[in-house]
Structure 1
Amino acid sequence: MRLSFVLVLFSISAAFSGSEAIRSLVFPSETSTSYVEMIATKPLKLTAFTLCMRVATELSGEREILLFAYRTNDFDELNVWRELDGRLSFYLSGDGVLFQVPDLGYLQTHLCFTWDSSSGAAAVFMNGRKSQTKIYRKGHTIRPGGRVILGQDPDSFLGEFDAKQSFVGEISDVTVWDSVLSDPAIQSLFNGRRVEKGNVFDWETVELIPFGEVEVMYVDLI
Structure 2
Amino acid sequence: MRATKSGISWRLSLLFILFLGSSSQNFGGQTQFICTSVPKDMDICAATVQNSVPGEDLKTTVMQLRETVLQQKETIMNQKETIRELTSKLARCESQSGTDAGGRRKEFGSKNTMGDVSRGPADTLAQLSQTLQSLKQRLENLEQYSRSNSTVQANSLKDLLQSKIDDLEKQVLSRVNSIEEGKPGLRNETEQRGRVESTLTSLHHRITDLEKGQRESRPLDKFQLTFPLRTNYMYAKVKKSLPEMYALTVCMWLKSNASPGVGTPFSYAVPGQANELVLIEWGNNPMEILINDKVAKLPFLINDGKWHHICVTWTTRDGVWEAFQDGVMRGSGENLAPYHPIKPHGLLILGQEQDMLGGGFDATQAFVGDLANFHIWDRKLSIGEIYNLATCSSKAQVGNVFSWLETSLDIYGGASKWTFEACRQLN
Taking structure 2 as the reference length, what is the TM-score of the superposition? 0.47
Conserved in 2, the CA contact under 8 Å of 1:86 and 1:101? no
Instruction: Show structure 2 runs of 5+ residues with no match.
Output: 1-204
> Is structure 2 residue 409 aligned with structure 1 residue 208?
yes
Question: Which of 351, 368, 371 is the aligned partner of 1:171?
Answer: 371
Cα deviation per residue 1:177-200 (whole Å; 9 max; x = unaligned)? 000111011001001125232111
Secondary structure at 2:375's aligned position in 1?
strand
Structure number with the bigger relative contact order (C-alpha 8 A, sep ≥ 6) is 1
Give matches, 1:151-190, under 5 Å: 151-190=351-390
Conserved in 2, the CA contact under 8 Å of 1:87 and 1:103? no
Q: Distance in 2 between matches of 1:103 and 1:5?
A: 32
The offset of 1:83, in angstroms, is 4.4
Q: Distance in 2 between matches of 1:116 and 1:199?
A: 16
The offset of 1:68, in angstroms, is 1.1
Worse-superposed segment, 114-123 or 26-35? 114-123
Change (3 A) 1:30 1:4: closer
In structure 2, give the amino acid aligned to 1:122.
Answer: W
The offset of 1:81, in angstroms, is 1.2
Give matches, 1:1-222, under 5 Å: 9-14=213-218, 22-40=222-240, 43-60=242-259, 62-63=260-261, 65-75=263-273, 76-85=275-284, 87-135=286-334, 136-193=336-393, 194-204=395-405, 207-222=408-423
Q: Distance in 2 between matches of 1:156 and 1:93?
A: 14
Structure that is richer in strand per residue:
1
Secondary structure at 1:186's aligned position in 2?
helix
Change (3 A) 1:99 1:158: closer
Q: Distance in 2 between matches of 1:215 and 1:51?
A: 22
In structure 2, give the amino acid aligned to 1:65.
Answer: G
The offset of 1:67, in angstroms, is 1.5
C-alpha RMSD of the superposition = 2.4
Worse-superposed segment, 115-124 or 79-88? 79-88
Cα deviation per residue 1:107-128 (whole Å; 9 max; x = unaligned)? 0111101001124220111000
The offset of 1:103, in angstroms, is 4.2
Structure that is richer in helix per residue:
2
Change (3 A) 1:43 1:164: closer
Q: Distance in 1 between matches of 2:357 and 2:422?
A: 33
Conserved in 2, the CA contact under 8 Å of 1:45 and 1:142? yes
Worse-superposed segment, 202-211 or 142-151? 202-211
Q: Which runs of 4+ in 1 moved over 4 A?
A: 1-9
The offset of 1:7, in angstroms, is 6.2
Conserved in 2, the CA contact under 8 Å of 1:28 and 1:213? no
Change (3 A) 1:129 1:190: same
Q: Distance in 2 between matches of 1:199 and 1:189?
A: 14
- Paired residues in the alignment total 216
In structure 2, give the amino acid aligned to 1:29.
Answer: L
Taking structure 1 as the reference length, what is the TM-score of the superposition? 0.87
Worse-superposed segment, 176-185 or 63-72? 63-72
The offset of 1:2, in angstroms, is 8.6
Q: Distance in 2 between matches of 1:215 and 1:2?
A: 11
The offset of 1:153, in angstroms, is 0.9
Q: Identity across aligned pairs (percent)?
A: 25
Greater Rg by CA: 2
